[in-house]
A and B are shown apart, each in its own frame.
Chain A
């Protein structure tokens, strides 16, 4: 009988990978970015939904497998390591977590690892997309393999230098020492460890039990740059000749210019160098952005009608109602009782603070683009097509961006900048005005969510949820991924929407017959995947219904959830927030607790909130502010699997909490007469200090999962749901639409002609 591998050998085998030492003057180690540890096979529960067995992250991860392309860790002569990450850092902390992974395998301090963002690398095909909270899930292994290869090469070179064997050497803090006290630095070894030819090597990754960096909180690697103003965003770049440029846009959504009526007047304005028409508006280039604003406000033009005619919110609501399909009938049960719920979710804006911007320098035979881009390969291809160049003639640099929330999956500003630069034959630094971002930027589509739950004999026997939404635009390149990954799936945006929905949504309760579906309609809007895509709306609707079912069956919302959850990890986070948040404590009338769960991104989370809906709080006096109910406390527990940087996860949950509160209480776009009314932060009410909870407690749960989960979007859905449930309990009314303040317009809309507001001049009267 053959020997069975011992458990120890098997454990080591799971950490054994093939990497490469590349030929070159200094040490460059590489790993295939398609490397993954065996995909965690989900436990097979009863009646699993698709997302439980194979979720969006499995799909994103599997899509990268065949690409067989390398990421490289280089050792520099100064003893530091360098790595160009093929992802976009937009605030989610992946440059920090990546530096930590490399530092771990290389036994280097984190600050000796320099992580930059790789420019568009078309050979990576689908492996340069930042989305789905997938970065750490998909790069965890290959980055560590590349670093481990470098470590091995350094040790081999050190053994020769120090006249000892590798097994006797100790690497620490960038120095390799022998037992006799002699030592050599990584900097000294950078050249000595270099290989004249490329060779493959076998490496074993560090055992998790020996981790010294992974799992320990680390501050962001770019924090010093951020707090000193040295962190460089796209509009901070100084590219020769790239003068400030802005675009004058149509008075209705997506209108196109047909004629400039006062070109000469605008050209004669101070600072203005150029005025040129493109498909999306009229671009002006000037010495300062202030002069661009003046010029945009002066421009007069004729426009085609917009893509949504004169439609308003009510028209879209009617359209969604018309698109709803009958919920599949269940076998007749005379004892069953059904509860129905319809919830409407209005348009919302991704609205990163750093508006759409790009630097473009387009010449006759080549182009160079700088922008914050989450799909740089698609951007490169589409820009090349628009310019009539081949993709290899277009260099696309990925710049760190001031937030994204899904916005930078699209490259609208980069494409516009390229077109303007080509028409002018001059470099431009294009910046969208805040009003542009709010009115024609990407939005989370309006959606109508219907649930029909069936109760019989004190049990929930069916839970049917149908999500009918204005189309979510996924045309940033993931469509190809689907085509490649699942040839049998329908192609096109509709098919993609179906797939994303199916791979992200689940009802993790024992509710008998569970059925979730999505219907998408209306392609006319500029939409996209906003942080957490469908989940905030779908989960909120579901959790509100869970509360209603609990009430119907005379159960406490927490205990009802706990009894019916099908997942132990979710039950653990639920128990955690209930205990830490003192679930069920006595609270004054007009205030209440709410509790909700969410399971996605290889992790699971629970949120407990307390809300104050009493008039004194709702009407609290903050000048020029939308106040309303105040979330006074949030306790959030997340099991994110193997955690690289707990402090980073905590930060992402804190941010997600504020997003969830905004979605529930204050932030939406109003469509009226063919355009969105919102044009700035005094119209679009993202959570502010007067809305944010004074008490926030994020608990990152210990996890025995060996696999990292996603963090960037995991804080939104459970918070939105918990706030909604708390609001319903505090007021005794389940809302029928979100955000709850959408039907009161809390501002005077800014004009559409001119399309952007003038800057005020009274700033010196407002000092403090």
Chain B
């Protein structure tokens, strides 16, 4: 069985598993890192949103065999370390706004929010209402209002 190696939350990991198993299951079922959640398995709900080399992506829609040895995969568990703090400013904004209800989608929401802030910065602008309208992550508890507030607050501290 092929050996799959990549960097997960700053640490090199190696797993024996077939190429076509989606990365989400490698992370959750084989490596026991459960921050990224399953909500659909077809890259629609975005509950598993994580980062690859600093960009948002959905590991439910990536074969582990397509991940390079040098790829940095960051889940919610590894997010604080990317800024060298106990909590990322976006997580602090989430706490400050008391965003979560059931909490199931929130790791994905936060990872998407961080990537969105970085993306608009690369484009030399700040977040607009239209950017917020285009966020695809589902929150079935309907915490959208506080998510919008928290993203704007978190962006100020990133």
Contact = CB atoms under 8 A, between A and B. Distances in A.
Nearest to B62: A763
Interface in A627-649: 647
Interface in A281-297: 287-291, 293
Size bracket, chain A contacts: 35 or more
B102 A690 contact: no
Contact of B140 (A222, A353, A433): A353
Contact of B104 (A230, A353, A693, A767): A353
A176 B103 CA distance: 36
Given A681-B44, A760-B61, A227 B94 contact: yes
A597 interface: no
Interface string B43-62: 11101000010011111111
A696 B102 contact: no
Nearest to B26: A288
B26 to A, nearest CB: 7
A160 interface: no
A227 B100 contact: yes
A35 B141 CA distance: 32
A233 B107 CA distance: 13
Nearest to A270: B18
Q: Identify the interface centre among B20, B47, B75, B139: most chain A CB within 10 Å of its CB.
A: B139
A761 B61 contact: yes
Interface residues of B, number: 78
Contact of A354 (B28, B80, B102, B119): B102
B100 A226 contact: yes
Interface in B24-75: 24-26, 28-30, 32, 34-45, 47, 52, 55-63, 66, 75
A622 B39 contact: no
A469 B99 CA distance: 36
B136 interface: yes
Contacts of A354: 37, 39, 102, 104
A244 B91 contact: no
Contact of B142 (A90, A659, A682, A694): A659
Given A229-B107, A651-B101, A764-B62, A219 B140 contact: no
Q: Identify the interface centre among B23, B43, B100, B135: most chain A CB within 10 Å of its CB.
A: B100
Given A434-B40, A434-B41, A402 B102 contact: yes
Nearest to B75: A229
Contacts of B80: 228
A403 interface: yes
A354 to B, nearest CB: 5
Contact of A763 (B39, B61, B116, B144): B61
A434 B104 contact: no
A665 to B, nearest CB: 14
B141 A91 contact: yes
Contact of B138 (A220, A233, A236, A688): A688
B32 A759 contact: no
B94 A223 contact: yes
Contact of A353 (B28, B47, B77): B47
Interface string B115-158: 11001000000000100111111111111111110000000000
A658 B30 contact: no
Interface in A17-71: none
A682 B41 CA distance: 12
A219 B142 contact: no
Contacts of B41: 293, 433-434, 756-757, 759
B98 A762 contact: no
A92 B103 CA distance: 11
Given A681-B44, A768-B119, A91 B61 contact: no
A355 interface: yes
A686 interface: yes
Given A229-B35, A656-B142, A659-B142, A288 B25 contact: yes
Contacts of B58: 763, 766
A9 interface: no
Contacts of A293: 41
A238 B32 contact: yes
Given A227-B110, A228-B87, A757 B42 contact: yes
A316 to B, nearest CB: 25
A312 interface: no
A223 B100 contact: yes
B83 interface: no
Given A288-B26, A764-B62, A227 B98 contact: no
A223 B140 contact: no
A681 B61 contact: no
Given A220-B101, A403-B102, 11 more contacts: A226-B100, A227-B87, A227-B103, A229-B75, A231-B103, A238-B32, A288-B21, A291-B25, A654-B143, A694-B148, A761-B66
Ranked 9 nearest A-B pairs via Cβ: A229-B35, A402-B104, A91-B102, A226-B103, A658-B142, A763-B61, A655-B142, A229-B76, A763-B62
14 contacts: A226-B103, A291-B21, A351-B140, A353-B138, A355-B39, A400-B102, A651-B98, A654-B143, A655-B101, A682-B44, A761-B63, A766-B43, A767-B55, A767-B57
